[in-house]
Amino acid sequence: MYGLKYLFTLLAFLSLSASAYSSNDDDKLGGVTVEIAPILSFEVNNLDVDFEYDEFTGVFTDKFDKNSFKVNGNAHWEFSVFAASGFLTSLDSPTEIPISHIRVARLDNDAVYIDLTTSAQVLLTGVGTIPTSEIKLRWWFRNMDSLGNLRAGSYAVGVIYQLTSSDFPVGSDPL
C-alpha cells in the first residue's frame, strides 16, 4: 500500500513539474529527491507468561514458558523486556519473589539472555523485518531454593516489551 503511494507521489511531482518548464530547446536541470522515513511496528505473541510451582517437590509445570515477537519495518531496532516492579507480589501473603530470579532468553540461543530488571535491557537487535516468522523467547525461574519457604498463593508482576530505534527523528513522540 505504502509503495503505491510513494509511486503516485513521485509521478505526480514529476508530471506537474515537467509541465511547469517552458519548451525551449535549451536543457534545464532539476532533481528529484525522495525521503524514505523509518517505519517500524512489532507484535508479541502471548504477552502473559504463566508458571506453576510445586514447592514441596521443587518441580515447575511449564518451567520454561515461551512467547515470541515479530518485527515489520525498515529501520534498525532494539528489543527490550523489563518489569514494572522489582518483585512478584502476592495479593494474599506478604511474601515477595525478586524478579532477578526470572531470566529471559532466546529459545534458539541460550547465550543471549537477560536477568529481568526494572530497567530496559536490550535482548536482541536487528534491522527491518525479521525474515523468519517469529523470534521465540523463553522464560524461566532460577535459584528458587534461595527463597526458602514460600507461602502458597499467586504472585505476579507486570512486564513491558519495548522496541526502540535510533533511526527515528529526535523528539518524535511515542504513540
Name the residue nearer to another protein (CB basis): 67 or 123: 67
Q: Return the number of other C-beta atoms located less than 10 Å from residue 153's C-beta.
A: 10
Among 83, 105, 135, 137, binds another protein (CB under 8 A): 83
Name the residue nearer to another protein (CB basis): 25 or 48: 48
* DSSP 3-state of 144: helix
Among 31, 35, 111, 146, binds another protein (CB under 8 A): 35
Name the residue nearer to another protein (CB basis): 37 or 112: 37
Q: Examine residue 122 and tell whether it contacts another protein (CB under 8 A).
A: no
CA distance linking residue 11 with residue 132, whole number of Å:
34
Of the ranges 14-22, 106-114, 129-137, which one interacts with another protein (CB under 8 A)? 14-22
Site for another protein in 128-147 (CB under 8 A): 139, 141
Of the ranges 106-114, 122-130, 159-167, which one interacts with another protein (CB under 8 A)? 159-167
Residue 7 CA from chain centroid, whole number:
30
Tell the residue number behind the cell numbers 536543457, with chain if given.
Answer: 27
Q: Examine residue 127 and tell whether it contacts another protein (CB under 8 A).
A: no
Grid cell digits, residue 72: 515489520
CA distance linking residue 103 with residue 117, whole number of Å:
10
CA distance linking residue 23 with residue 9, whole number of Å:
24
Residues 6+ apart with CB under 8 A from 100: 115, 116, 117
Among 44, 107, 114, 130, binds another protein (CB under 8 A): 44
Residue 59, amino acid: V
Shortest spacing between CB 36 and another protein, in angstroms:
8
Spatial contact of 90 and 155, defined as CB atoms under 8 Å apart: yes
Site residues, another protein (CB under 8 A):
2, 5-6, 8-9, 12-13, 16-17, 19-22, 35-42, 44, 46-56, 67, 83, 88, 97, 102, 139, 141, 149-165, 168-169, 172-175
